[in-house]
Amino acid sequence: MNSETVPVNFQQQAELYLATGNFDRAIALCEQVLELQPNSAETCKTLGKALQAQGKLEDARYWYKVAIALQPDFAEAFANLGTLCATLQQWHEAIACYQKAISLQPDFAGFYRNLSRVFTQVGKAEEAADCWYQALMVAPVEIPEEYLDLGNTLLGQNKAELALICYHRTIYLNPSCCEAYYKLADAATQLQQWDEAIANYRKAIKIQPDISEFHYKLGNALQASGLLHESVASYRESIELNPNSFWSYYNLGSVMLKLENWQEAIIAYRTSIEI
Query: Does 2 have pLDDT greater than 50?
Result: no
Mean pLDDT of the chain: 95
- Average pLDDT of 184-203? 99
CATH number of this structure's domain 73-138, picked from the four choices 3.40.718.10, 1.25.40.10, 3.40.50.2300, 3.40.50.1400: 1.25.40.10
Q: Give the pLDDT score at 275.
A: 83
Q: Give the pLDDT score at 150.
A: 98
Q: Which of 269, 267, 255 is nearest to 223 (CA)?
A: 255
Answer whether 183's CB lies under 8 Å from 177's CB. Answer: no
Q: Mapped to the 3 state alphabet, what secondary structure does 142-203 carry? A: CCHHHHHHHHHHHHHCCCHHHHHHHHHHHHHHCCCCHHHHHHHHHHHHHCCCHHHHHHHHHH
Q: Give the pLDDT score at 24.
A: 96
How far apart CA 246 and CA 267 sit, in angstroms, is 13
Answer whether 167's CB lies under 8 Å from 148's CB. Answer: yes
CATH class for the domain made up of 1-71: mainly alpha
Q: Is the dihedral of CA 97, 101, 107, 108 positive or negative?
A: negative
| 237 contact partners, CB below 8 Å, separation of at least 6 | 215
Task: State pTM to two decimals.
Answer: 0.86
How far apart CA 186 and CA 216 sit, in angstroms, is 12
What does the pLDDT look like over 66-89, one tens digit per residue? 999 999 999 999 999 999 999 999
For 93, the 3-state DSSP assignment is: helix
**Domain residue ranges in the chain:** 1-71, 73-138
How far apart CA 46 and CA 27 sit, in angstroms, is 8
What does the pLDDT look like over 99-129, one tens digit per residue? 999 999 999 999 999 999 999 999 999 999 9
Query: Does 5 have pLDDT greater than 80?
Result: no
Q: Give the pLDDT score at 11.
A: 82
